[in-house]
Amino acid sequence: MRLSGLPGLIGLDSLRLQSGKGGMLRNKLRLVMAVAAAAFAVGSACAVNRPAIGPQCIVSDGDNLPPETGGAAALCTAIMKAVAERGPSLPASVDVRVLSNSSLSATVKLTDGRVLPEQKMAVSDRQLDSGSIARFAAAIADQIAEASTR
């Protein structure tokens, strides 16, 4: 016999019930253990949530990026890596707009409320590539690092 409902909701679809006299107690014990395990997992996940040290990155119109750049995820990864390489900084959110396959802009908002000047990058003779993404990420990281010292 399979138990449906709560175990299915918490991902324990394979929980098996036994019938008979001793089976009822084992079934209750298994259900209690499953609920306790789920509660522990949720509680542990909440304890891990803390303010981000690096930037939060949002990319608008990421589908305009050329495929060889790695897409929006690679762009955000490059920004976070560049910020981390420059040492501790104020937490920030970075809003990147992909204007075309050859131009980007970004606005950085620091958690203290300051909005830094918009960063722009355009490549005139070709599309964006991984090198141009790295240079753009470095410029954003430099801007955040400089603002963190003021």
How would DSSP label each residue in the chain? -B--SHHHHTT-TT-B---SHHHHHHHHHHHHHHHHHHHHHHHHHHHH----SS-EEEEESGGGS-GGGTHHHHHHHHHHHHHHHT-----EEEEEEEEETTEEEEEEEETTS-BPPPEEEE-SSS---HHHHHHHHHHHHHHHHHHHH-
pLDDT band at 88 (very low <50, low <70, confident <90, very high): confident
Q: Higher pLDDT residue, 125 or 4?
A: 125
Rounded to two decimals, what is the model's pTM? 0.63
pLDDT higher than threshold 90 for residue 15:
no
CA distances (Å), 140 to each of 62, 101, 137, in order? 17, 19, 5
At a CB cut-off of 8 Å and minimum separation 6, what does 3 contact? 15, 16, 17, 27, 31
- pLDDT greater than 60 at residue 97: yes
Per-residue confidence (pLDDT) for residue 148, from 0 to 100: 87
Q: Are 142 and 128 in contact (CB under 8 A)?
A: no
pLDDT at position 6 over 60? no
Average pLDDT over residues 105-109: 97
Give the pLDDT confidence of 22-79 residue by residue, as tens digits. 556 565 656 555 555 544 444 434 333 334 445 699 999 999 999 999 999 999 999 9
Rounded to the nearest 5°, which phi and psi values hold at 56? Answer: -95, 135
